[in-house]
Chains A and B, each alone.
Chain A
Amino acid sequence: MTPKAEAVTQDSKDEEAINRQETRLALKRFGRKRWNLIPILQKVQARLGYLPREAMVEIAAYLGIPEIDVYGVVTFYNQFRLNPPGKHSIRVCLGTACHMKGGYITLDAWKRRLDINSGETTADREFDLDTVACVGCCTMAPVTVVDNQPEGKVEPTKVDGILLAFELVREAEKKEAKQ
């Protein structure tokens, strides 16, 4: 193994251990009942940002149910993620009103700029991109929810504007770190 590959494996082992640890902590508050499965998954995802394999294994063992049952429930519901989230979350509304006012064009613009598909995270883990169905502010369609804050009338130029704002913050932080 090259030294670099070794470092990566070590990293992911550490991450796995942390994930297991965090999952166990989250589990403490719940009874070992099947009907707690969804609330448990929600809690663990709230802590880790996603549901890695090792977390699902821990949960299955805790509830005494087959691992496939946990995986089945995780993949059934839209809310659960199997890959780590980015630092910033981008949710493009594709509810009826937003779609008809060009939400699909906005989604295209995000995909083009971030160079990922919906449901993915950028390689540098800065952004993850997904869609939602109506966040209840159809008046301002097309809406994109950026880090839980709904932004109205997000058209391709505004996509660039939002990304530029993040870029500026990042550069400022870099400068500060250097000093």
Chain B
Amino acid sequence: MKATHSPTIASAFEDIKSRAIAHWQEVFDSGQPVILVGTATCGRAAGALDVLETIQTELEKLGVDCPVFEVGCLGHCYAEPLVVISKPGYPPICYGYVNTVIAERLVREFIAGDNPCLEFVLGALEENDLIPSFADFPRAVYEKKVVLRNCGHIDPTDIEHYIANDGYSGLATALQTSPEEIITEIKDSGLRGRGGAGFSTGEKWEKCRDTRGRPKYVICNADEGDPGAFMDRAILESDPHSVIEGIIIAAYAIGARYGYIYVRAEYPLAVERVRIALRQARKLNLLGRHILESDFSFDIRLFEGSGAFVCGEETALIASLEGQAGMPRYRPPYPPSSGLYGKPTVVNNVKTLASVPPIMVNGAGWFNDIGSGESRGTAVFALAGKIVNTGLVEVPMGTTLRQVIFDVGSGIPDGKRFKAVQIGGPSGGCLPESALDLPVDFDSLTGAGAMMGSGGMVVLDEDDCMVEIARYFLEFTQRESCGKCTFCRLGTKQMLTLLNDITQGKGTQADLDTLKTLAEDIKAGSLCGLGKTAPNPVLTTLRYFEDEYHAHITEGCCPALMCQQLIAYYILPDKCERSCDACVGTCTVEAISSNKRRIKVIDQEKCVKCNTCLTACPPQYNAVIKLSPPSEVPAAEK
């Protein structure tokens, strides 16, 4: 992109940048070791704060002067807490599953001593001859970090870390370019919205720019309500400035004066880090009046959502910002024509906005070279469920589901069999083995009945019941329906009742047809995406796993042994070890007793099916099993 050279903007930014680089080099190129501890929510839940404290006390005890930084999420959430140590003479090394004991050893033996404690290494961050690096992992073949480029590498509470790593360079370039050229650049890059619908970002901005009306607004949608997704949270916690920079560039391109970041209520750490980031950006005049001494003024407010899934929908989100209950309204007009307070407004997802700065720095062509077909750039996924490498991954659009699950995610743990992948959350669907060679992009999954959605991917194995997962998502959408449209409000309720019946063995064959009819009606009769897509989990499971529905209905049997009403726990008499009473002791409701032969027996009346005895029974006996239907339990014991 051509930048019309503006000496004031360029020199204002040059000042900031050279100071940031000096600050960065002072720490990282000083010849002293540096420690990074991942303290995003995933790390904290695994005990990262204890690890951090241990490291600090240990350093103090030994009197070693070594900077320690809290960083965000590297994506390897399965191995949290993660610690990265950069020490001259060694590549930066990432340690996984660190606890306080390991942390203490790392400080004593590696920081103070010279033993890199190879037994705890997860991988090196750079290629080298000494230690296997992440680049040698099978997943490295597929991974391509654009949005997650800084996550886990920089301190999210220090703006200079971001600036020293090319941060705000995109903004400086943008401010020396005309808004029209920026919009052309974004259009040429092929960037499409990452919030689910995949609308062209450049076109959205252009529409908003061309609409008369002032002031204009930019809103960053960080409501992330999909119950199996945490990408946006991780980005805000790990690299808030990349999102803020994206918002400022968007604002400049459309001519906005104010912006909002709408963050989900359950993300307290993200809120805190964004707040700090905004303050720092204002201090350096990257926000506020005459940004970088240009004519452009803009500021951002943070707004905390209050826990309503439907508020992720853009018109509901706007209503919520205005102080109303978050109910979607009919579109058109779309927000770029009439949004917040009826003014032209751009609503973009966190990942969409975080993709903008690298496009400004590297050019539209660079971004457009990544990806496939009509989907350019990368896709970020939160991998969860029955998968070895749970965590965050970023791959080029067009990577197949199989590559994501088996190569990047290392497949299914405990030797179990893959059954399905739930993609796109409550709006998406469950895809079977046969669909695994589909590429993940905006368009390919639609034909199979699912959608990429915002990026939640939950892997299911043979122990997961497909009827139950459909019921689970429908229960979620039914609860979260705002109640405006009759079909969505009452239709989802009816579907849920039918699914509840089926999972309790009270369903009939006719119910399946009713489910299909209701699904079509709800899709047709709902205003917003919530209702339009709510039936997808049911439709896809009916399409690919209809035999499981039949087993529930005709045999009263849950093949995955999950639906509680359709299973019973049973202790195999010939496997029960008489002199062991592990199950008796752990039973939470005292339902297990010893019979005359000292064999343990479950009182089926008392049993609440809490699974405790099954986990308590020592593996050498494995005497507790689940039976479905419950009538399988020998009559003598009922």
Contacts and interface: CB of A to CB of B under 8 A. Distances in A.
Given A76-B326, A138-B384, A94 B611 contact: no
A152 interface: yes
B244 interface: no
B458 A150 contact: no
Nearest to B479: A78
In the complex, which range does the number of interface residues on chain A fall in?
35 or more
B46 interface: yes
A133 B308 contact: no
Interface string A105-116: 100110010000
A95 B588 CA distance: 24
Given A34-B323, A97-B228, A150-B45, A139 B78 contact: yes
Nearest to A143: B45
Contacts of A141: 384
Interface in A1-56: 33-39, 41-42
B464 A100 contact: yes
Interface stretch (A82-90, A154-162, A171-179): A154-162
Contacts of A133: 225, 227, 266, 309, 476
Interface residues of B, number: 61
B45 A42 contact: no
Interface string B120-131: 000000000000
Contacts of A96: 227-228, 384-385, 422, 425, 456, 458, 469, 472-473
B307 interface: yes
Contact of A136 (B41, B306, B321, B612): B41
A41 B306 contact: yes
7 contacts: A38-B323, A76-B326, A96-B385, A97-B384, A133-B227, A156-B588, A160-B588
A79 B390 contact: no
B229 A134 contact: yes
A57 interface: no
Contacts of B464: 100
B41 A138 contact: no
A76 B612 contact: no
Nearest to B562: A100
B615 interface: yes
B611 A155 contact: yes
A136 B80 contact: no
A138 B227 CA distance: 10
A97 B458 CA distance: 7
B460 interface: yes
B574 to A, nearest CB: 27
B612 A156 contact: yes
A129 B514 CA distance: 35
B77 A132 contact: no
A80 B265 CA distance: 11
B105 interface: no
B6 interface: no
A33 to B, nearest CB: 8
Contacts of B227: 94-96, 133-134
A112 B326 contact: no
A137 B47 CA distance: 12
Contacts of B306: 38, 41-42, 77-80
A155 B45 contact: no
A136 B610 contact: no
B341 to A, nearest CB: 9
A52 to B, nearest CB: 17
Sorted from nearest, which 7 A-B pairs have the closest CB atoms? A96-B228, A77-B306, A78-B307, A137-B45, A133-B227, A138-B384, A76-B325
Given A38-B320, A97-B458, A156-B610, A140 B385 contact: no
A35 to B, nearest CB: 4
Contacts of B546: none
Interface string A96-127: 11011010110011001000000000000000
B304 interface: yes
